[in-house]
Amino acid sequence: MGEQTGPVKRRLGVMGGTFDPIHHGHLVAASEVASQFHLDEVIFVPTGQPWQKSHKTVSPAEDRYLMTVIATASNPQFSVSRIDIDRGGKTYTIDTLRELHQQHRDADLFFITGADALGQILTWHDAPELFSLAHFIGVTRPGHILADPGLPEGAVSLVEVPALAISSTDCRARVAQGDPVWYLVPDGVVRYIDKRDLYREDPAGHDGR
């Protein structure tokens, strides 16, 4: 008694991604970080409709959002936020974190990102404010090594997730070639990809949207 401690702050993970599609690498990474950092919840935040890669368009935001909901629905610690989708346009992490900070004033935020993306953190426009809004956790996957980070001390942690050499790029390529993605993505996501005809080479209205 007599201690000045306020209510214990909630510990919220934030997992941003294109999730085109969400796969078991994302889910294992979130689960592992939640365990190691004693997080109360991980919020998956699908990006807004972003950059156009030269020869391909990112799938519609609603499809990416729904696949993320399907993939996370069975885990009571996981939830999905629409903030980046509803804001529209290219997603900047600073906007995501500012908004989540407003919505969860009682919480400490832990931004989970691939070590590949973390490597570019210092080039991010608002790095000092970013580090004041969240602790950053870089997850490494096979084939991605964090080059000299040179990041502010204490602002970033690295976590090795169980090796899952899965990427969305590979999942899309497999679907395009007619190869299975069973067990690379959750069952419901396999079904959803099929139902919505995502990632097919023959573009029945899929290109040029």
Q: How far is the CB of 30 from ligand ATP (least distance, A)?
A: 9
Cβ neighbours for 205, distance < 8 A, ≥ 6 positions apart: none
Q: How far is the CB of 100 from ligand ATP (least distance, A)?
A: 16
Please say whether the beta carbons of 50 and 11 come within 8 A. Answer: no
Distance CA 123, CA 50 (A): 18
Length of the chain: 209
Q: How far is the CB of 97 from ligand ATP (least distance, A)?
A: 14
Cβ-based nearer residue to ligand ATP, 8 or 21? 21
Q: How far is the CB of 17 from ligand ATP (least distance, A)?
A: 3
Please say whether the beta carbons of 146 and 114 come within 8 A. Answer: no
Please give the residue ranges that form the binding site for ligand ATP (CB under 6 A). 17-20, 25-26, 29, 113-114, 116-117, 139, 141, 161, 164, 166-169
Cβ-based nearer residue to ligand ATP, 49 or 167? 167
Cβ-based nearer residue to ligand ATP, 102 or 177? 177
Distance CA 66, CA 69 (A): 5
DSSP for residue 199: T
